[in-house]
Structure 1
Amino acid sequence: MISRLLVANRAEIASRVFRTARKLGIETVAVHSDADVALPFVAEADHAVRLPGNAPAETYLRADLVIEAAKVAGADAIHPGYGFLSENADFARAVEAAGLVWIGPAPESIEQMGSKIEAKKIMAAAGVPVLEAPASPVESDLPLLVKASAGGGGRGMRIVRSLDALGAEIAKAEAEAASAFGDGTVFVEPYVEAGRHVEVQVVGDGAGNVAVFGERDCSVQRRHQKVVEESPAPLLPDAVRSALHDAARNAAAAIDYRGAGTVEFLYDAASERFWFLEMNTRLQVEHPVTELVHGVDLVELQIAVAEGVGFDTPPPSGSGGSTNGWAIEVRLYAEDPSADYQPQSGTLATLEFPGAARIDGGYTSGSEVSTFYDAMLAKVIVHAPTRDAAIRRLVSVLRTAKIHGLVTNREQLIGILGSDAFRSGEVTTALLAKENLLSTVDDPGAAVAAAVALAEATRRPRVPVAWRNVTNQPQRTVFEDDSEDGLVVEWYGTRDGYRIDGFEVIDAGQDRVVLEKDGLRTTYEVSIDGARIDVDSSFGHTALRKRPRFTDPATQTQPGSLLAPMPGSVISVLAESGSSVTEGQPLLVLEAMKMQHTVTAPTDGVLAQINVKPGTQVAAGEVLAVVEEETS
């Protein structure tokens, strides 16, 4: 019996495992980098051990440091979570060699499924359908998909639509895979343009017995990374559903799988055919939707199997045969979908959700989001009797959540859930490649409420704000927007309160304003943080920034300056100082939060100045280089 459990991970998944451990009466140990010391998961653990440094390579990816931390803390078991070392066979062996319980599959299973090339061979031998890569592709084989054999999370993956580009795309995928996984092996397979990503949850006892806990649809993806997941999968014929479950069971049994794992398939709805993609030999990010629909605790099952509970004894949380209702999960990321998904970092001023959802989160109000790790802030999951009810409930939770301080993908998630494609259930992995589905908050009262709150924050007690005997000129509050004049709110401060055309101010305070327009009364909650103002109402969230009356010359940059769109590390510099460049030409590549961003030339000209080199750490807004337009 496990008595003290170390989680070799961070943030959301560490908190999730701790929750089950506490339920079972197991003590918990957190390991943390310097950047993560103030995050909630560290405080939630009974014990914590520091891993000096910040970058994953010097902290969470250091198997020796993690095992030493377990010894220091007196832990007798290690749970790897997902990502980092969770699918590292050498780490699993080292844990067992140290006399600790490894909560995961046998190292041999990890190795067999860790190479997508070898995994396909094993699956084919077990009778599981696989996509066959053409030996010598021709035009009729297009499009093709280049994939990293040891990859995941969309890295080392390239779609190829021209045979002329195949060689270059393979080279790029090899370089990216070598950087991300230490293994540059890639392979090519047919790319199913309008496929659905359907995966099956399995739990094995290591003796060939496998329980299946239904399937999940994870087709909504950006950059080959999942954004929305649900269970059960919509519009799936019963015969296909049954065949998927059988294929997953056979796949896991073929390697005597132990613990929780996921078998992923690509499904073509038109032909009702499916093919094996890969097996994740760990707990998946999206496991909560399975837990809610099947009434199980998958972490509890992982621990039970690790403690030797075989399937001759019923699993402690049920056998997973029947389903109950519908569950949908969305991943809330600190990123800007309107700017090529640039990751965001900084202080998360407010993060609050209403009580109608399960929140598996790694951050809280006031947390600092660093550039060293994945940009996911939280998973928001709802469970309802029907799919339509789950969608409506999830949209409401997202719209009324308070998320201040950082740009997130919240509006995109709302747009996805409200789209005709998603509501019909006919989603494919190409959904976000066609449009980003950003929803918009159309609420003219938000700026008015912000202006009133700002005025209230600066007025003296019992003195009407900006009151004048002769009110022939309105006061003006200007917020930043894309126009030259900005977003202007004009208002008067009178003895009787505020007067604003079109709006009646029912109640005014610096954190709460009630407005009425055309007979409709709306309450606005306002948060002021310097020049940034966040406004929340039943319409949704609006982030505003007050425009300064005068521009500080020190903030001006010379024309042609290329500014860092995010804090991060310079991966490569692709042009030399003094060279001629063309508009759109890649000049530098930055990396932050496990994502890369290419900085391109804004115009034809000469690269007059380069201020960075590979390895340079840069802050958001820092001048990376300067392109001067060529003159006649």
Structure 2
Amino acid sequence: MKQPGLTCAPFTSSDAAALFVKQADEAVHIGPSPASESYLVGQKIIDAAIRTGADAIHPGYGFLSENAEFASAVRQAGLIFIGPSAESIQAIGDKIGAKELLSAKLPQVPLIPGYNGADQSLDRLVSEAKRIQFPVLLKASAGGGGKGMRIVREAKALQEQIETAQSESLRAFGSDRLLIERYFESVRHVEIQIMGDQHGHVVALGERDCSVQRRHQKVIEETPSPGLLPDTRQKMNAAAAGIGSLLGYEGAGTVEFILDTKTQEFYFLEVNTRLQVEHPITEETFGLDLVRLQIFVAQGYSLEEIYPGLDSIQPKGHAIEARIYAEDPDNDFLPCTGTICKWIMVGGQAVSDGGIRVGEGNGIRIRYDTGIEDDSQISIYYDPMIAKLTVWAPTRLQAVAHLERALGDTVLLGLTTNQRFLVNVLRSDAFRRGEYDTGYIEATKEHLLYLPAEITQSAISSLAAVHGGVHHKASKVPSPSLQETVIPALLFRWVHHEQQRTTLKHLPFSWRYIRYKLPKTEFAVNLDTTGDAQTCAVEYEELPVTHGTRKNGDFSGRKFRMWMHVQDKDKGAPIEVILGMVDFDAHEERVTGRIRCDIGGIQRTYHVHQERLPTTDEVVSFVYHREWARQIRMVRVERLKVRAAGLADGGDDVSPYTSPMPCKILKILVPSGSKVQKDQPLLTLESMKTEVKVYSRHEGIVDIRVSEGDLVEAGVEMCRVKS
């Protein structure tokens, strides 16, 4: 909630320039970047509040937000904790304790078969998992968000997965206690928003369907749920309100269930004793500000005083939220780090809770919740979520169509994101029909990664309903070809160089000036973050202007004929390219802007960011068109050969293992000099709270080149395996 004189923000070293720090009235540095030394140290948060004269602490929806000891310490320090009592958090926030409480006090609430005992020995956990029968789900008792969660389908993988889940849980939540549950292959994840006051009143504020997940983390949420029948909805709301009343719950909370859509049977999952990431969709359908409600409840007001008739309010329309993450769907959704070079929202105005709401007309609302801006950093220390994009519309079909369009019109340059993947999910037939479950992404990932960018007939119909009945045939936009990706990047760079020229400006636009030979430049091009580089040669000739005059330094309207050779193949048919508008903002080796050009008869606007890496001579380009976004790494072949000439050949018997992203070396699993087998684990890495194991690709002797605890950048050689 952003109002003058109301906010004080604690921050760490890596967050010093973050947007939330700039927006706060006061900000206090509380320590180094690792959360274990800052955001997870409750006393540092309390000290910051006392130093600035704050009256209350809002725990947000991460770090210590569900920590009973922190809630108690805040109140003992004479401050208001904007959330439930420590007793409520202790009773229900721990997943094991919650099951024990409900089994004894609310037996009518159905529970998932599982084990939640105090004996956490490895032998007991293995024994209980076998009793429950596979597949089983290991879950961190003290927290959520997919951390410390593992699906185990066979006994031989159980011990390793238990140890990994315990390790991840201990680092994320300070406890390695696990519970084990029967894992259902096909269910929906449906949660109920509750709000309680200090006077014993608890209301249920409808459901949110959070079934579209990857790595057990939600990426798209919607309300109302398309898989919920009215009778089941009523029972779920009643169960959630009953749990809140049992606890004497204060503030915002969420009761989560899993739902079998075929039978409409549901089971209690957990209670999140905090505000959820996806709360905006509830706010949009109910017309509420949940953060404002939290603050008034914490001040002692009753729900009836704050919002008369809250217990009978009915939701309107449909809202869907998509989480934009800095991650690479093509690389198993691994987190990405770096600088956000350009961030362009659809447009809008600030609202009280820090979000941005955009009015599109015809009743459509678009909202951003984000803490980023140009030059914001995405580091290895925290969750890689960049923004939440929410759309409200009168109908589900309209909400889906407008969210798809808003994702395409949201420009982010500098990092790989999941935007295109989210659009593909929204365009998939199963999602449009509302027929998906928690396993949907995993089961259809390969299809969703390469789904053609198409607008289905249902999407066209919904847009037509909003835009005055305009109707078009469904169309397909194929994935961008190499030429459509490379040409805008090359033209953008060449135009920038031409405008920076201080000598020989009378010469025509070119990068080589040989009358009898077409200009030609050869590049090694790598698209996106995976795959091998391709050799790409570009030749061109400038065509005469068919009308008007042309001045030196004026690029709009210039026409070229271009040829591209890929991997030493014969050059293909020439492509006619007409330059349109070009604008950019240059800063040393970084250039950001837009270019509009006609490539082969199709005119489009591309957003481009480029920077040269002085250590490798590579030019990294991010090219964004609303139907796709690509990262290109280019280096002139002649420069590449010069650098390569000075490198020794390691030989075929040496296999280097480089870090796939900036990360921390958690554990070295085998000593250097050991003989290892193929597929044997060598190292454990952590980036953005996610563990990744590195396995040997063949048999040989391992040479470890890093140490436990090292923080390494992407591309650092961690070890070698020599045959």
Change over 3 Å in CA distance of 1:230–1:471 after alignment to 2: farther
Matched, 1:442 2:515: no
Counterpart CA distance in 2 for 1:448 and 1:547 is 15
Further displaced range: 138-147 or 183-192: 138-147
Counterpart CA distance in 2 for 1:106 and 1:248 is 18
Change over 3 Å in CA distance of 1:27–1:572 after alignment to 2: same
Q: Which residue of 1 aligns with 2:526?
A: 480
Map residues 312-323 of structure 1 onto 2, 5 A cutoff.
Answer: 312-315=304-307, 318-319=310-311, 321-323=313-315
Map residues 32-43 of structure 1 onto 2, 5 A cutoff.
Answer: 32-43=11-22
Secondary structure (helix, strand or coil) at the match of 1:111 reads helix
Change over 3 Å in CA distance of 1:486–1:398 after alignment to 2: farther
Alignment check: 8 A CA contact 1:208 1:254 kept: no
Change over 3 Å in CA distance of 1:469–1:33 after alignment to 2: closer
Alignment check: 8 A CA contact 1:143 1:159 kept: yes
Alignment check: 8 A CA contact 1:218 1:229 kept: yes
Return the offset for 1:517: 4.8
Q: Which residue of 1 aligns with 2:561?
A: 499
Map residues 415-564 of structure 1 onto 2, 5 A cutoff.
Answer: 415-436=424-445, 437-439=448-450, 441-442=479-480, 444-459=483-498, 460=501, 461=505, 463-466=507-510, 468=513, 470-476=515-521, 478=523, 479-481=525-527, 482=531, 485-493=534-542, 496=545, 497=558, 498-500=560-562, 501-507=574-580, 509=582, 511-517=593-599, 519-530=601-612, 531-549=619-637, 550-551=639-640, 552-553=643-644, 558=650, 559-564=654-659
1:592 to 687, 698, 717: 687
1:172 to 164, 173, 188: 164
Secondary structure (helix, strand or coil) at the match of 1:397 reads helix
Counterpart CA distance in 1 for 2:195 and 2:537 is 59
Indicate the percent of aligned positions where both proteins have the same amino acid: 38
Return the offset for 1:425: 0.9
Counterpart CA distance in 1 for 2:238 and 2:599 is 59
Count of aligned pairs between the two proteins: 607
Deviations 1:88-109 (A, max 9, x none): 1111111111111111001100
Counterpart CA distance in 2 for 1:513 and 1:172 is 48
Counterpart CA distance in 1 for 2:322 and 2:268 is 24
1:72 to 24, 46, 51: 51
Q: What stretches of structure 2 of length at least 5 have no aligned partner?
A: 116-126, 348-357, 359-365, 453-478, 546-557, 563-573, 584-592, 613-618
Counterpart CA distance in 2 for 1:168 and 1:48 is 42
Change over 3 Å in CA distance of 1:546–1:155 after alignment to 2: same
Q: Which residue of 1 aligns with 2:706?
A: 612
Amino acid at match of 2:520: Q
Q: Which residue of 2 aligns with 1:625?
A: 719
Further displaced range: 496-505 or 120-129: 496-505
Deviations 1:541-587 (A, max 9, x none): 23222223322237888441111111121110111222222333221
Return the offset for 1:269: 0.8
Deviations 1:438-482 (A, max 9, x none): 257425433222222222222344532226463543423533244
Counterpart CA distance in 2 for 1:362 and 1:90 is 28
Return the offset for 1:506: 4.0
Secondary structure (helix, strand or coil) at the match of 1:110 reads helix
Q: Which residue of 1 aligns with 2:467?
A: none
Return the offset for 1:484: 5.3
Counterpart CA distance in 2 for 1:519 and 1:618 is 46
Counterpart CA distance in 2 for 1:337 and 1:349 is 20
Amino acid at match of 1:592: S
Secondary structure (helix, strand or coil) at the match of 1:546 reads strand
Deviations 1:262-321 (A, max 9, x none): 000011112110000000000001000100011000001101110111134252795562
Change over 3 Å in CA distance of 1:539–1:133 after alignment to 2: closer
Alignment check: 8 A CA contact 1:196 1:269 kept: yes
2:242 to 250, 253, 266: 250
Change over 3 Å in CA distance of 1:368–1:555 after alignment to 2: farther
Counterpart CA distance in 1 for 2:245 and 2:400 is 35
Further displaced range: 125-134 or 252-261: 125-134
1:128 to 89, 92, 109: 109
Q: Which residue of 2 aligns with 1:571?
A: 666
1:92 to 71, 74, 78: 71
Change over 3 Å in CA distance of 1:569–1:316 after alignment to 2: farther
Counterpart CA distance in 2 for 1:422 and 1:374 is 26
Deviations 1:24-53 (A, max 9, x none): x65211111111010010111111111121
Secondary structure (helix, strand or coil) at the match of 1:465 reads coil
Counterpart CA distance in 1 for 2:252 and 2:534 is 57
Change over 3 Å in CA distance of 1:350–1:517 after alignment to 2: closer
Q: Which residue of 1 aligns with 2:258?
A: 266
Q: What stretches of structure 1 of length at least 5 have no aligned partner?
A: 1-16
Amino acid at match of 2:198: G
Return the offset for 1:358: 1.1
Counterpart CA distance in 1 for 2:21 and 2:389 is 21
Change over 3 Å in CA distance of 1:539–1:86 after alignment to 2: closer
Amino acid at match of 2:691: Q
Matched, 1:146 2:142: no
Q: Which residue of 2 aligns with 1:362?
A: 371
Alignment check: 8 A CA contact 1:480 1:487 kept: no
Further displaced range: 407-416 or 552-561: 552-561
Q: Which residue of 2 aligns with 1:405?
A: 414
Secondary structure (helix, strand or coil) at the match of 1:93 reads helix
Counterpart CA distance in 2 for 1:382 and 1:128 is 33
Counterpart CA distance in 2 for 1:499 and 1:285 is 50
Amino acid at match of 2:441: L
Change over 3 Å in CA distance of 1:246–1:301 after alignment to 2: same
Counterpart CA distance in 2 for 1:319 and 1:300 is 17
TM-score by length of structure 2 reads 0.80
Further displaced range: 279-288 or 183-192: 183-192
Return the offset for 1:187: 2.1
Counterpart CA distance in 2 for 1:314 and 1:343 is 41
Return the offset for 1:528: 2.6
Return the offset for 1:215: 0.4
Deviations 1:244-274 (A, max 9, x none): 1111111111111010000000111121100
Amino acid at match of 2:480: D
TM-score by length of structure 1 reads 0.91
Counterpart CA distance in 1 for 2:674 and 2:436 is 45
Map residues 161-310 of structure 1 onto 2, 5 A cutoff.
Answer: 161-310=153-302
